[in-house]
Amino acid sequence: MIVVTTPTGQIGREVVARLLAAGEGSAPVRVIVRDPGSLAPQVRERVDVVQGSHADAAVLKEACQGADRVFWLVPPSPFAEHADTYFGAFTEPLCEVIGTHGVERVVAVSTLGRGVARNAGLISAGLAMDETIAATGVHYRALCPPALMENTLRQLAAIRDTGVFATPLVTDRVLRLCATRDIGAAAARLLLDDSWTGRADVPLVSPDDLTPEGMAGVLAEVLGRPVRTEFVPLAEQRAGLLRAGAAEGWARDYIDMVRAQNDQGIYGSSQPTTPDLAPTTFRQWCEEVLRPAAEG
């Protein structure tokens, strides 16, 4: 049995789709979801459903009865006061289940930056999660993407209507990228393979060598209209997060993450690409995902 968390999220739904596509003979799939009605009908009829949050120890224990593999993702929450506490609230119940319910393998979404990131807010919290889970002795794979291409969709209206691609990241330095579909594909491959053991990171970096300015150029070409980058100072970015309702602590951790990216090159050119594992380019993603969303 494979347990999948966040099955309706950007990455989780990709994992579920690929597990179900594996066909007969593969392990059955159980999902943890707050609202079963949010599952697509064709998914709902083929998976076992446990309703609730995977931060709830009782829900997680129920879901992991008879399961030997878990896909793990801590969903972001701008309302959390502190990233470390928030990640810990999810991870502690998982570690208890690993010790008592026979879970043998965990595949989790983490981040690039191990050995590099210092005081990096959300990134540091994700890396600490890896250490906590791995300390249980479970066979563990940490999927390590950099910036997600899908984050660009948050600015779709501004990019389409005003031609502005805003970012708090240094605009003329390489920013490594990854598409969520490549994360989902990597996770599914590992979850369907019961031969791997031990602990390892799995970097997932697209073939691109783009700066934010270069990304704007690709956006302009794909959308057929001018697009320019606009640098957003960290103080302005923080103020925007707070206006949108983010907790003070979450805004602080987010800004610490961005500052670390700018200062430490966590997602920079020193990180090698992994095209075999993350083949989707930013241009391909823009053509197949962003442009249809803009036209729709």
Across the chain, mean pLDDT equals 94
Dist CA 29 CA 48 (whole Å): 6
Residue carrying structure tokens 């999902």: 31
Tell me how far apart the terminal alpha carbons of the chain are, to the nearest angstrom: 38
What CATH architecture does domain 2-146+179-203 belong to? 3-Layer(aba) Sandwich (3.40)
pLDDT tier at 117 (50, 70, 90 boundaries)? Answer: confident
pLDDT of residue 293: 94
Query: Domain segments of the chain: what residues?
Result: 2-146+179-203
pLDDT band at 272; cut points 50, 70, 90: very high
* Distance in angstroms (rounded) separating the CA atoms of residues 211 and 222: 17
Share of the chain above pLDDT 70, in %: 99
For the ranges 91-105, 150-164, 198-212, the lowest mean pLDDT is seen at 91-105
- pLDDT tens column, 153-193: 999 999 999 999 999 999 999 999 999 999 999 999 999 99
In this structure, which amino acid lies at residue 269?
S
Question: For residue 139, how many other CB atoms are within 10 A of its CB?
Answer: 19
Count Cα atoms within 13 angstroms, Cβ side, for 274: 19
Contact yes or no for 225/93 (Cβ under 8 A): no
pLDDT at residue 25, rounded to an integer: 65
For the CA atoms of 213, 142, 280, 206, what is the dihedral angle to 10 degrees?
A: 40
